Amino acid sequence: MWYIITMKTIMISPTNKASQRTKNRIRENGSVFRVDLEEETKWLLRAGVSFHGIVWMGWLPRDEFHVECVGKKFIEKVLA
């Protein structure tokens, strides 16, 4: 088992084979997350936007989402 602590900001989208849970997390929290930990098969993500003062944080299987872009400044450009 290995992990990398990155704390980078990413924009994601679900893959065609993503579980309903993964799709729901992206739909409920938006597509921008911060990566807290990367493991081989799953990443610990933290939502960039709070929902009623609560920020979602949890593991998503790595094969269930695409990383669309990396970096806060780049994401801001894409979303503008």
Q: Mean per-residue pLDDT for 62-74?
A: 85
pTM (two decimals): 0.79
DSSP SS3 for 25: helix
DSSP state, 62?
G
pLDDT tens track for 15-67: 999 999 999 999 999 999 999 999 999 999 999 766 677 889 999 999 999 99
pLDDT of residue 69: 82
Taking the C-alpha atoms of residue 66 and residue 16, their distance in angstroms, rounded to an integer, is 10
Please name the residue that has the structure tokens 């911060």.
Answer: 34
Taking the C-alpha atoms of residue 71 and residue 46, their distance in angstroms, rounded to an integer, is 15
pLDDT of residue 74: 67
pLDDT of residue 66: 95
Residue 63 in contact with residue 41, Cβ under 8 Å? yes
Q: Mean per-residue pLDDT for 64-80?
A: 77
Q: Which domains are present in the chain?
A: 3-79 (2.30.30)
